[in-house]
Each structure stands twice: as C-alpha cells, then as structure tokens.
Amino acid sequence: MLNPVSFLRTGLVAAAMCLALPAHAEKVVEQEIASDQQAFRIVQLAENLHHPWAVAQLPDGRFLVTERRGRLALVDNGETTYLSGVPEVSAKGQGGLLDVVLHPKFGDGSNDWIYLTYSKPSENGAESASAVVRAKLGDQGLVDVQPVFEQDRYSTPGRHYGSRLAWLPDGSLLMSIGDRGVVRERAQDLGDHAGSVLRMSETGAPVDGNPYLGDKRGLDEIYSYGNRNIQGMTVAADGRIWASEHGARTGDELNIIEPGINYGWPIVSKSFEYSGEAAIGEPSASGVRDAVYLFDGRFAPSGLAMVTSTRFPNWQGNLIAGGLGSEKLVRLVIDGDKVAETETLLEGQVGRIRDVRQGSDGYVYLVNDTNDAGLYRLEPITD
C-alpha cells in the first residue's frame, strides 16, 4: 500500500482556475484516403497540444488528453481547458503524465473514476517510477485524487516506462511497465516490476489468478514478464490481450499477453543494438513465447486499438496500430491468434502517432507526438 503522506508530499499541481485556450473549429486535414476496405478522412479536433500521450473520450463526447509535461487537457467542441489536481510528474526524457483511461462503469454515478499513469519523482527528484492514480472530474479539475499503484523500485534514467492501461472483462486492470532502459535484465527478474505486465484490482490490489500471487518466486502483481516496453495494449471482446512492444533497433513486436509467460527480453529478441549490427539475445529459446507478429523496419509502436465499431464495418475485428518514428498507422487483420494480413493506412499525414483509440462514439481517434500536436478523428467515407 502507498503511504498517503508520501503521496501528498509529492505534491499536486494545483491551480485556482483552469486555463482555457481559444476554441478550434474542426478542420478536415485529409479529405479522402483510400484503403483496401474503407475510405476515410482525417479531421483535426484540437491543436497546440504539447507532446500528448493518450486520449480518452468521455460519455458526453468531450475528451481528456494527457500532455507529457504534466498537464491534463479537457477538449470540448474545440476548446481546450487544462485541469487542476494532476499529480506532480517527473517530466524527463520519456517520462511525464502518460496514459488515461476511464473506469469501465464510468457514467453509472458510482464509478466515475479516471485513471492516470505517470512517472512519479523520488523525494529528491533524481529518480522516478511508474505509478497510477485515480480521480474524479470536478467543476474546476480533478478531485478525490487517490494513489492506486506505485512501482516497487525508483531508478534512472527517464525512459521505458511502458505505462499503457487496459481493463479485462472481469474488472481487473492491466498496466505495462518497461525495463527502464539501463539494466535490461530487470525484465527477467520476477522480483522487479520492470519489464512486465501487471494485473491489479481497481484499487491497486493484486488479484486472484495472478501467476505469482502468494508465490515467493515473483511479485504478486506480475502477470507476464520479459516485456521490453509495451506502449500499445487493448483487450478484445473474447478477453484476449493484444500488446505492441518496442524492440531496440527493429524487432518491434505484437504479442498476445498470457499469465506467467516469458516474452523473452533481453535473452530473446529480433532486434539489434542502436550502436551497430550486434544482435540482442538469441532469436528464440525454450520456454520463451515468440511474437505473434514483427512490425516491418523501425516501426516504433505506440497506441493500439481493436475496431468493434459499426462505423467501420469492414475493419471490425482488426487491430489498428500507431507508429512513432515510422509515422504509420497500420491495420492488422486477425485470424485467431495470427496476423493474416496488414495494410498501411497512414504514413506521415499526422506525423508521429502516440495513441490510437476507438471512442465511445465509434470513431477512431489519434494524437500525434510533437510540441504543437493535435487530436484527430478518422471518419469513414460512405457512398
């Protein structure tokens, strides 16, 4: 359990009033993009966002967008308002305010919780750890902010936080944590949260069914391990967990996450050292789960959504994966536990794609990663 005093000492970013930016009219940035199954257009809904990391659509159609530097934006009909009450973040390197998701029963009056992940600074600010809080949306900002989870170990530098959240059908919460970028072998240490997918209750407690719950061989929250840096994660209607994961230089993976499985990093990978041609680990090994799919080249995955919406009937059951360095949006046709085919939907039109979400209204939403970024909606074009 987290110490509430320590949490409060970390500090909340407080403001007497929220900061509102001028409204931005919707703007069509690409009138028509052809694809194998569904032509679509790109509409920009907000602009001047600073390195946004994630987007979540509220039931009333408004959007919450995290900015890595530690601001939470509320986008309402093109007007962007910044909310108070956000926890203090370590906005260094890849760290900051990261994912945002709603409780699966959000809107029923009793579970209106918003979950945020972030890089939490240590007391002296030199180190950081991946953490989760939950809060409710008040008139001026976040209220009733509660700590949910904190990684077991603070470390440097500011990279490989993972930090995607996803809900399972049983109401438990998944969280990815990267290997933190220095000691790769942390991802193989079951006594370390780094390099893993965690599973917890809505309040952060480990839950029944976790492979190491009550087992001294591993931490109670660990669900899978050997994961370098998952930044895309979604749960299909059948409960299958899909995750897109950064390799080093090439070797970016799509995996199906299952309990107790070792996904190999760094002893098994298809990636290479950034500094040269040396391979990292072995291409395969006994006891290690191979990737379902390897993305082409240096894809740099971030953001993953399963399309279920009737707005895109020809994409139903497909995964949509965003890429950072590649600036791509890729559609993956799933056949059981395999990728049957792929199609590149976007390449460069919106730049580095940080998050991909299917909204509560059935449209697909993107945010790009730059200091003057936007929130975008993909709209199908029908005859």
Q: Does residue 373 have a pLDDT over 70?
A: yes
Q: 3-class DSSP state for residue 106?
A: coil
Q: How confident is the model at residue 309 (pLDDT cuts 50, 70, 90)?
A: very high
Q: With beta carbons less than 8 A apart as the criterion, state whether 70 and 83 touch.
A: no
Report the alpha-carbon distance of residue 377 to residue 104 in Å, rounded: 22
Report the length, in residues, of the chain.
383
Report the alpha-carbon distance of residue 73 to residue 116 in Å, rounded: 13
Specify the pLDDT at position 15. Answer: 39
Could you confirm whether 160 is annotated as catalytic? yes
For the residues of 132-146, what is the DSSP string, one character each?
Answer: EEEEEE-SSBEEEEE
Specify the pLDDT at position 7. Answer: 42
Name which of 64-68, 137-141, 180-184 the model is least confident about.
137-141
Residue given tokens 């603070």 in the structure block? 154
Q: With beta carbons less than 8 A apart as the criterion, state whether 355 and 101 touch.
A: no
Specify the pLDDT at position 21. Answer: 63
Instruction: Name 381's Cβ contacts closer than 8 Å, sequence gap at least 6.
Output: 32, 38, 39, 40, 41
pLDDT tens digits for 42-55?
999 999 999 999 99
Q: With beta carbons less than 8 A apart as the criterion, state whether 131 and 196 touch.
A: no
Higher pLDDT residue, 4 or 83?
83
Report the alpha-carbon distance of residue 241 to residue 372 in Å, rounded: 32
Q: Does residue 3 have a pLDDT over 50?
A: no
pLDDT tens digits for 112-131?
999 999 999 999 999 999 99
Q: Does residue 1 have a pLDDT over 80?
A: no
Specify the pLDDT at position 19. Answer: 60
Q: How confident is the model at residue 99 (pLDDT cuts 50, 70, 90)?
A: very high
pLDDT tens digits for 9-45?
334 433 333 566 666 779 999 999 999 999 999 999 9
Report the alpha-carbon distance of residue 246 to residue 323 in Å, rounded: 10
Specify the pLDDT at position 225. Answer: 98
| Mean pLDDT score, 273-296 | 96
- Among positive and negative, which fits the CA dihedral 42, 363, 304, 108? positive
What distance lies between CA 113 and its chain's CA centroid?
17
* Residue environment code for 288-326, b if the CB has 16+ CB neighbours within 10 A, otherwise e: bbebbbbbeebbbbbbbbbbebebbeebeebbbbbbbeb
From residue 239, how far is each of 122, 172, 196, 258, 322 by CA, in Å?
36, 11, 19, 10, 21
- Tokens linked to 357: 């979400």
Q: With beta carbons less than 8 A apart as the criterion, state whether 349 and 378 touch.
A: no
Q: Does residue 2 have a pLDDT over 80?
A: no
| Mean pLDDT score, 340-369 | 98
Specify the pLDDT at position 25. Answer: 74
Specify the pLDDT at position 148. Answer: 98
| Mean pLDDT score, 95-103 | 98
Residue 9 CB neighbours (<10 A) = 10
Backbone angles phi, psi at 5, to 5 degrees: -65, -45
Residue 238 CB neighbours (<10 A) = 6
Q: Which residue among the candidates 24, 51, 103, 160 is catalytic per the annotation?
A: 160
Report the alpha-carbon distance of residue 79 to residue 379 in Å, rounded: 20
Query: What domains are there in the chain, each with its CATH number?
Result: 4-380 (2.120.10.30)
Q: With beta carbons less than 8 A apart as the criterion, state whether 121 and 51 touch.
A: no
Strands lying side by side in the sheet with 230-235: 230-235, 241-245, 253-257, 293-294
